Amino acid sequence: MKLRLFFLSFFALSSLANGQDMNFIKKSIGVLSGPGFGGRGYVSNSREKGARFIYRNFTEIGLNSFSADGNYYQEYVFDVNTFPNKVELKLGKKQLQPGIDFLVDAASSGYQTTGKNKVERINLGKIKDSAEWQKQKAQFNAHDIYQLKNVDTFCKRMKIRSAVLMQELPKACYIVPQSNKLTWTVSTNVMPATVFYVSDTSMPKGRKVEVNVQNKLLSSALSKNVIGFIPGSHFPDSFIVFTAHYDHLGKMGAKTIFPGANDNASGSAFNLGLAKYFKEHQQKYSIVFIAFSGEEAGLLGSSHFVENPVFPLNQIKLLVNIDLMGDASDGITVVNAVQQKSVFDDLQIINSRKKLLPKIVSRDNAPNSDHYPFTQVGVPAIFIYANGGKGHYHDVFDKPKELSLNNVANVFQLLTAFVSEKSGL
């Protein structure tokens, strides 16, 4: 009877702790992806708000710092193109909505029409080789506006990516119809052209167009990684590391915000929840938490850390990167699981025993998140993302209300159990 009461008490406490963890995670997602944080990007320095939020939570949780002065920040700089003011596009009589009807390429230069210009339509699908393409490029005029049709066909024929094509375009304004969802990004450079990606459903039949785009290249923009740790009880110089990027795309113009709830307020909040948990449940190994900036600009924060580590990289037992943790209805995927087969197998065993997730999918390594720079220097690392949800990614619809958080508590249980078992507790 006493043993039965013990287990009932244990599971009751575990359930209570799990509920508290998820309430904290949900609240943190809401803050990080709220309108006041401006998409944690580069307009109005909104990524700094994300850094401060992480820093404040590290302080309140009571994480240790690797710095002698107790500072959690690791600073670095890079160039980034921004659109802090107007991003306007009017086709015919229709004023298009930024982020919903169109996007401006993140590397675009500024462009402004003085009246209603006419669009000249160019069918790139008719261009057969590079000689014809060079001839066409020579005919583009910097003061004119062109609609480029069949870009995908052209790129496939020329064996180049669409992003490369846009970088090669001469100075002018270009409109590219899009049949797929509109997906934005971040650019660290400015190209000569101004490029709009317009949803097919928003393309009017008329040819008159008005454009007003103002860009600003931020040279050596300051960004910050946020780093803290919990000392291990037996092996303080051996580390299990949890990482997540807190930066996102920010604003396209003064009003259009890309909230980044799933990508990656969810992963950042999840890791803060883990920090709270492990602060209360000390492990034999030290547990490190790193909130990276610069991920959306090309894994720049994690690359900077790998090149400038605040502790020896060879002391990392395992790095677990968390990204896109808003809905695990269909389980999780583990990137670099092929190379870290024993880790993947351990996760499978725990999941099977505890019956937490419907499935755990193995995937080969890929340069798709902040684990990757570590794998390139021999650090054992995996990247976990959740499978499920509505598919909002790098768009204006990635808001907290769109996240179900289904099974995310079970992912939390899986990882805390994994760390405890790896630590021999």
Give the pLDDT band of residue 207 (cuts 50, 70, 90).
Answer: confident
CA–CA gap between residue 371 and residue 22 (Å, rounded): 24
What per-residue confidence (pLDDT) applies to 424? 55
Contact predicate 337/350, CB 8 Å: no
Reading the block at residue 385, the tokens are 């993302």
Give the pLDDT band of residue 160 (cuts 50, 70, 90).
Answer: very high
CA–CA gap between residue 393 and residue 82 (Å, rounded): 20
CA–CA gap between residue 130 and residue 81 (Å, rounded): 29
Contact predicate 301/355, CB 8 Å: no
What per-residue confidence (pLDDT) applies to 32? 98
* Candidate CATH numbers 3.40.630.10, 3.10.20.30, 3.40.50.620, 1.10.10.10; the one for domain 18-81+219-422: 3.40.630.10
The DSSP code for 202 is G
Residue 242 neighbours by CB distance under 10 Å: 23
Give the pLDDT band of residue 295 (cuts 50, 70, 90).
Answer: very high
Token pair 């708000």 is found at 49
Do 18-81+219-422 and 86-213 show the same overall fold? no
pLDDT for 286 beyond 60 = yes
Give the pLDDT band of residue 4 (cuts 50, 70, 90).
Answer: low
**Burial class for 44, CB neighbours closer than 10 Å (0-12, 13-18, 19+):** middle
What per-residue confidence (pLDDT) applies to 20? 82
What stretches of 77-211 show up as alpha helix (H) in DSSP?
Answer: 130-139, 151-158, 162-168
Read off the pLDDT of residues 109-151 as tens digits, 9 standing for 90 and up.
999 998 778 999 999 999 999 999 999 999 999 999 999 999 9
Strands (E), 57-207: 73-82, 87-91, 94-95, 102-104, 111-112, 117-123, 145-149, 173-178, 194-199
Contact predicate 205/123, CB 8 Å: no
Q: What is the mean pLDDT of the chain?
A: 94
pLDDT for 35 beyond 60 = yes
Nearest partner of 53 among 275, 371, 291, judged by Cα:
291
pLDDT for 425 beyond 70 = no
What is the percent of the chain with per-residue pLDDT over 70, rounded to a whole number?
Answer: 95
* Candidate CATH numbers 3.30.420, 2.30.30, 3.30.230, 3.50.30; the one for domain 86-213: 3.50.30
The DSSP code for 401 is G
Torsion on CA atoms 371, 359, 406, 59, rounded to nearest 10: -30
Read off the pLDDT of residues 46-61 as tens digits, 9 standing for 90 and up.
999 999 999 999 999 9
Read off the pLDDT of residues 370-417 as tens digits, 9 standing for 90 and up.
999 999 999 999 999 999 999 999 999 999 999 999 999 999 999 999
CA–CA gap between residue 401 and residue 261 (Å, rounded): 9
Give the pLDDT band of residue 262 (cuts 50, 70, 90).
Answer: very high
**Burial class for 8, CB neighbours closer than 10 Å (0-12, 13-18, 19+):** exposed
CB proximity list for 204: less than 8 A, separation 6 or greater: 91, 92, 93, 94
Distinct helix (H) and strand (E) counts, the chain: 10, 19
What per-residue confidence (pLDDT) applies to 203? 83
Give the pLDDT band of residue 3 (cuts 50, 70, 90).
Answer: very low
Domain ranges of the chain: 18-81+219-422, 86-213
